[in-house]
């Protein structure tokens, strides 16, 4: 297989970034949305929770279609749906409609997870980790910089205008992907119900898959609990606006830039070691924030930014390595394997959002830090206790 061009990889990274960003724009905008729509803290917490729950549902029920249909067509369809939903979100006037659209928006945003396996398919043997890592850089920068962009635009122009700009960006990127992507071969002729049944078989067949999904899921709980409550904490404790909350996403983006390095490292020294190092870094980075009360205000801001760099670097490195492990199990079932991995990841994201807001109400920011540190430690324990087992020979699925 020929190595994909740098332009193609760049477009894939761009598409992954803009599409996944759609599920994170709301986080620094929650105070603005709450004020505009008169939402309670619980109501504000439900917005990212429903979006991430929709993403998990879309991954579970829509992503397997990538093994049955041309991914190029699926990407175009989802990009059109996502652009329309982002536009509809900007016109919401009450909580109920906002929550319904948030759920559907999360499902459509799974086009990002159609793009990542596409990169693995296009990459030559031995270069999959590096190629996936490069595309994941775009996806991860989309996750992190979305907060910076939405925080600034929301505070300057309004949260509704942010969603309208997001709709335009997704529509344009979807058209670009349609032009540059080649058609993809169909790897399965199974019916949709049969595809879903084989996913259960894949989950049962591969302990490697189960450990990867559970470990990354706990890391996602920590990640989501932090970012879902950061804007509220900064507003309560430091009287900072949405733009300031989004600015911390720049610090996290520095960690995301290491994704290609993590993929390259996984190709060289093994994905197992990279997952353990990533989980350890996440745990340590969150634990450092227990020092916040003993620091002056400026020192507290610096520590939060430093911790954001550390835990994002650890989480993204672990994610790229876990994908490398999972994609190698059965190349013809990458869509379903990816669906299983990311279903658990975004269940973790949704749990992190709802648990983070509840813990913040009960135990303030120190409670959120405790939740995140504990989640990181559980992920590290899963990786450390997981004994290396021989990979079962692939079944015909």
Task: Report yes or no on 231 lying in a domain.
Answer: yes
Cα separation, 253 vs 312, in Å, equals 8
In a domain, 394, yes or no: no
Identify the pLDDT of residue 75.
Answer: 93
Q: Looking at the chain, how many residues does it have?
A: 397
Distances (CA, A) of 13 to 20, 35, 137, 173, 279: 11, 35, 7, 10, 24
pLDDT at 364: 92
pLDDT in tens, 39-69: 887 788 888 889 988 988 898 899 888 888 8
Do the Cβ atoms of 97 and 365 come closer than 8 Å?
no
Q: Specify if 391 maps to a domain.
A: no
In a domain, 321, yes or no: yes
Q: Is residue 361 part of a domain?
A: yes
Percent of the chain with pLDDT over 70: 89
Is residue 392 in a domain? no
Q: What is the DSSP string of 216-255?
A: HHHHHHHHHHHHHHHHHHHHHHH---HHHHHHHHHHHHHH
Whichever domain contains 14, its CATH number is 1.20.1250.20
Average pLDDT over residues 67-74: 88
- Residues 260 and 320: their CA atoms lie apart, in Å, by 8
**Contact indicator for 117, 338 with CB cutoff of 8 Å:** yes
Does 395 map to a domain? no
Confidence of residue 396 (pLDDT cuts 50, 70, 90): very low
Number of folded domains in the chain?
1
DSSP state at residue 392: P
In this prediction, residue 74 has a pLDDT band, given cuts at 50, 70 and 90, of very high
Tokens of 50: 């429903």
**Single pTM value for the model:** 0.74
pLDDT at 267: 67
- Enter the DSSP assignment of 69: S
- Domain coverage including residue 89: 6-385
177-223, pLDDT tens digit by residue?
988 898 888 877 888 888 889 999 999 999 999 999 999 999 999 99
Mean pLDDT for the chain? 86
Dmax (CA) for the chain in angstroms is 62
What's the CA gap between 359 and 337, in Å, rounded? 32
Residue 396 resides in a domain: no
């Amino acid at each position: 297989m020929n190595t994909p061009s740098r332009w193609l990889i760049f477009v894939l990274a761009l598409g992954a970034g803009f599409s996944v960003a759609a599920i994170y724009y709301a986080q620094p905008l929650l105070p603005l949305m709450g004020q505009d729509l008169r939402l309670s803290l619980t109501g504000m917490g439900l917005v990212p929770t429903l979006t991430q729950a929709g993403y998990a549902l879309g991954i579970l029920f829509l992503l397997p279609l990538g093994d049955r249909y041309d991914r190029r067509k699926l990407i175009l369809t989802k990009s059109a749906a996502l652009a329309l939903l982002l536009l509809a979100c900007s016109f919401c006037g009450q909580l109920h409609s906002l929550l319904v659209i948030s759920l559907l928006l999360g499902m459509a945003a799974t086009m990002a997870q159609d793009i990542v396996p596409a990169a693995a398919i296009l990459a030559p043997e031995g270069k999959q980790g590096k190629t996936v890592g490069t595309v994941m850089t775009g996806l991860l920068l989309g996750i992190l910089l979305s907060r910076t962009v939405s925080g600034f635009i929301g505070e300057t122009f309004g949260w509704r205008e942010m969603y309208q700009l997001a709709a335009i960006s997704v529509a344009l990127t979807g058209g670009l992907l349609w032009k540059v992507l080649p058609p993809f071969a169909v790897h399965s002729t199974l019916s949709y119900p049969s595809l879903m049944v084989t996913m259960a078989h894949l989950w049962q067949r591969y302990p490697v898959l189960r450990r990867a999904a559970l470990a990354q899921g706990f890391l996602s709980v920590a990640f989501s609990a932090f970012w879902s409550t950061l804007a509220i904490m900064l507003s309560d404790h430091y009287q900072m606006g949405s733009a300031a909350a989004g600015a911390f996403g720049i610090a996290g983006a520095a960690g995301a830039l290491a994704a290609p390095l993590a993929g390259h490292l996984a190709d060289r020294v093994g994905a197992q070691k990279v997952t353990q190092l990533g989980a350890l870094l996440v745990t340590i980075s969150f634990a450092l924030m227990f020092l916040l009360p003993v620091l002056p205000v400026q020192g507290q801001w610096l520590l939060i930014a430093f911790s954001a760099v550390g835990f994002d670097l650890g989480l993204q490195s672990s994610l790229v390595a876990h994908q490398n492990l999972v994609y190698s199990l059965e190349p013809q079932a990458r869509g379903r394997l990816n669906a299983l991995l990311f279903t658990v990841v975004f269940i973790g994201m949704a749990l992190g959002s709802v648990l983070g807001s509840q813990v913040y109400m009960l135990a303030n920011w120190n409670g959120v830090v405790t939740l995140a540190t504990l989640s990181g430690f559980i992920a590290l324990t899963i990786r450390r206790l997981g004994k290396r087992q021989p990979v079962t020979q692939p079944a015909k699925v």
